[in-house]
Amino acid sequence: MHEYSIVSSLIDRVEAEVKKNGATSVGSLTVQIGEISGVDSRLLAIAFDTFRERTCCANAELKIENVPATWKCPKCGTPPVAGGPLRCFPCNQPAELVAGDEIILAHLELEVPDHV
């Protein structure tokens, strides 16, 4: 299950941001998961709960935003007909993926002490 390696990389990235910003804790992190990214959001949440102990994310809330796959014609920008072939028939072009394959750390809420 590759969700575990994704969580490992995610925690490494968050730890780097914590260090870079001098944060004392992580409140939450928001991850965008594309519909065709190959990542199961439920399994990602389970992996996060399993591996966050004794890390900077131990008390953090994981928020997952699922991103639907969207396509468009590279020539005219028209999306293909829902449920139809991924092709623009007027332009005779295959549709290109616009969104839906991403795995993005979109938002990170950190507690940073005031420096007076």
* DSSP per-residue string spanning the chain: -THHHHHHHHHHHHHHHHHHHT-SEEEEEEEEEETTSS--HHHHHHHHHHH-TTSTTTTPEEEEEEE--EEE-TTT-PPPPTTS-SEETTTTEE-EEEESS-EEEEEEEEE-----
* pTM attached to this predicted model: 0.85
| Residue 7 domain boundaries | 3-68+99-111
Query: 32 lies in a domain?
Result: yes
Query: 46 lies in a domain?
Result: yes
Centre a 10 Å sphere on the Cβ of residue 87 and count the other Cβ atoms it contains.
14
* Number of compact structural domains in the chain: 1
Query: 105 lies in a domain?
Result: yes
- CATH number at 15 reads 3.30.2320.80
- Over residues 31-82, the pLDDT tens digits come to 999 999 999 999 999 999 999 999 999 999 999 999 999 999 999 999 998 8
Query: 29 lies in a domain?
Result: yes
